A and B are shown apart, each in its own frame.
Chain A
Amino acid sequence: MTTPTVTPYRSPLPPARDGFPQLLRAEWIKLRTVRRWSLALLATVLVTVAVSVLSAFSGGSDVKGDRPPPPVGPAGAIVSDSFPFVHQKLTGDGSITARVSLLGGREGRPAEAWAKAGVVIKESTKPGSSYAAAMVTPGHGVRLQSDFTRDTAGGAVSRDRPHWLRLTRSGDEFTAYESADGSTWTKVGTTRLAGLPDTAQAGLFVATPGETMVQRQFGSTSVGGRPARVTAAFDRVTVDGGGGTWRQDVVGAVVGANGDPKGTPDSSTEKSGTWTLTGSGDVAPHTPEVDITQQSLSGAQIGLIPLVALSVLFITAEYRRGMILTTLTASPRRGRVLAAKAVVLAGVAFVAGLVAALLSFLVSEPELRDRMPNPLFYPDMALTDGPVLRAVVGTALLLAAVAVLALAVGALLRNTAAAVTLVVVVLVLPLVLLSGLPIGAAHWVMRLTPLAGFAVQRTLPEYEHVDTVCLPEEGCYPQGPWSGISMLCAWALVLLGLAMWRLRRRDA
């Protein structure tokens, strides 16, 4: 055998670089050079906007509500503020003390868990004006609440024994105390009301949230509600530093055409030093039944389908054509290949999602609000409002995470149809099926599956001192927006890690 002596070849080209940035660039070129894939991205935007706009312009009711404009709280948010108010003038510092001796509901039944009876110092009788109140509740013990949204828990109360409450004012500071016997007092908490005028109204109040009845059957849910009623008796009422004369008012009474209060049983009576108040309105932040911002972004649920197809194809097409061999010879460090694909996909999905969410919100939100029976009861949200911004950017994040998830599933299954079907079924089907599950099971599905990511589109604030019925079919998620999107991101990252591990271990 002859082996001629040869000089091995040396390339005259400048040295190459094969770092992660080069890999990202390569994957980006792959993505943008298949025209159908660019179209899929465009479809993601268009479908999202189209579905949002269609549902905005087709939904709603033609029946316009006749409710007068709702009161607005000190923070500018819509509030409920309607209760019987027995009050007298309180100038400067002072305190009000009372013993609540009875707290019950309609016709001898127990009151709602968040029914309230207690003492309050309020700016005026104008609905929505600033206040601080110490109260007893049937379900949640003693509370100190102020300006609708702030709430501090005190001790527990026994249902059958009267309970003493005291609220003192010292400048802007309001302190609540409670006592079982009127001699040993325990501090509940302190709250500040900035800018409360020197002269305010101190008095007694009762309030209750409405009764809610929910009936769920597969495919249909009916939510009924009616005003609840609460009656409480107060005795040993004293006001230190008060004006002396009691006035009886109903704050926020619904006034009929002839000027009489209509429909509300709110009343107050006094008999030998014992005041009995009956109320059916609430003092609480107003929570709209429908999250309009979330609805305006609902198109993303369908818009993600072309994105899922693109993300799956981004890897399965390489297997189908055998191109994965070229990819892996160009970059033998396989984990990095999948990482680069994930970064590129997440990036384009985020941009597409942001554009889609912005357009959907701007076009659909005003229309959705207009079509509500009582539009004034829905806050007029702007893009710059924190929750809206979170929902819009969150929707972009949601699509980015879905893209990574779909890529990972595609890499694991190596089959386009199977991977697309699986991801779409996991993300879209539960939206239909959840109404058929018992509410507890539905909540666990929403908490633990990738579906949780949609929680990021919720914008309604949650208050601990307001009970809401959280129905999956109404788009309510049992967890907060950030914990929801975190769960989806965790799914995407874990599956991507699994796919990387498999890719490294298996023959190509």
Chain B
Amino acid sequence: MQATIEVQELRKQFGQTVAVDGLSFTVRPGQVTGFVGPNGAGKSTTMRMLLGLDAPDSGQALIGGRRYATLRRPLTEVGALLDAAAVHPSRRGRDHLLWLAHSHGFPSTRVDELLERVGLASAGRRRAGSYSLGMRQRLGIAAALLGDPPVLLLDEPVNGLDPEGIRWIRGFLRGLAREGRAVLVSSHLMSELEDSADHLVVVGRGRLIADTSVAELLASASGDRVALRTSARTEAMGLLAREGATVAADGPRSLTVSGLPTERIVALLTAGEVPFSEIGAHRATLEEAYMELTRDAAEFRTVEAHTDTETDTANETEEARS
């Protein structure tokens, strides 16, 4: 079996709401793929369809080329964490893993091994109801790893973890991907995926917004923009705009300039006797890149509703900027 997740033209509607609208993407082995979008973008629904819990209205959600429902020994094919709170509060953490392990004929030693691995060795004998959200996330991850599967689907695994836990899970996920597993991690916050995801699938309102590597996304978001600090903001803006640059005010003393190389800006400001203190290439964060992506997507959608001409203009502007 190929350790991949494939989603093809997937569509799911709940009543009047279209949760997933023609979504297609592929998750490859050996890397952590972030599945990003605001709440309600259709991430969980997509994951539920991948796990055979919801039936797609059309399209396909495949694991290693097969529908989940047709998998034999599914825990050895896919590990999933959907809802960390989904444990019976009266059942001890270890017992929760125990029934799951026995459903696939794994020995109890496998359970203890995993409790150790996720750092719950001592808490395993406590009732799950007494666990913090972070501990439940760890229990859920242990459950996902029981069958040592080549594919992992984790829905918001960072949610509720403390900074130490977040660091732990980032390293953990990267380690799993390095072993050659396909790891799909959803999140509604791009910042949670910083330093762990190699690839991103960005969705909004059930549609694909971007399917890109993290490096490419950062490069395109940074563009050739220049960050500038100046006490004479208005003069600087006027001067640079006359020379054909696009200037945006980030704060009372800072500007982002695009369309002009750094040397030219320095020359212009010096010639115009406009004081400035700092100038350098703008470095976008993943969060910014994401905001830009989703903002464009939002604009795109609102414009689309009116006329196609405006859409074209918007696209041209975007092209001109990049």
Contacts and interface: CB of A to CB of B under 8 A. Distances in A.
Interface of A: 1-4, 6-13, 15-18, 22-23, 25-27, 29-30, 33-36, 317-318, 321-323, 325-326, 328-333, 507-508
Nearest to A504: B69
- Chain B interface secondary structure, helix, strand, loop or mixed? loop
Given A33-B91, A317-B88, A329-B51, A25 B76 contact: no
Contacts of A7: 30, 180
Interface in B44-93: 48, 51-55, 68-69, 71-76, 78, 80, 82-83, 85-92
B269 interface: no
A17 B69 contact: no
Contacts of B185: none
A330 B104 contact: yes
B88 A26 contact: no
Interface of B: 2-3, 28-31, 48, 51-55, 68-69, 71-76, 78, 80, 82-83, 85-92, 95-96, 98-100, 102-106, 110, 143, 147-150, 179-182, 212-213, 215-216
A9 to B, nearest CB: 4
A306 B150 CA distance: 43
Contact of A16 (B2, B31, B75, B92): B75
Contacts, number: 146
B74 A323 contact: no
Nearest to B103: A26
Contacts of A23: 103
Given A9-B3, A317-B88, A18 B73 contact: yes
Contacts of A30: 88, 91, 99
Given A23-B103, A33-B92, A34-B88, A322 B73 contact: no
A342 B91 CA distance: 20
Contacts of A16: 73, 75-76, 104-106, 147
A4 to B, nearest CB: 6
Contacts of B78: 329
Nearest to A34: B90
Most buried by A among B29, B68, B102, B179: B102
A322 B85 CA distance: 8
Contacts of B3: 8-9
Nearest to B92: A33
A34 B129 CA distance: 12
A292 B105 CA distance: 48
Contacts of B87: 321, 323
A325 B76 CA distance: 17
Contacts of A34: 88, 90-91
Contacts of A33: 91-92, 95-96, 98-99
B15 to A, nearest CB: 12
Nearest to A10: B150
A508 B102 CA distance: 22
A497 to B, nearest CB: 20
Contact of B53 (A29, A323, A329, A333): A329
Contact of A321 (B68, B80, B86, B98): B86
Contacts of A29: 95, 98-99, 102
A29 B179 CA distance: 32
Most buried by B among A12, A23, A29: A29
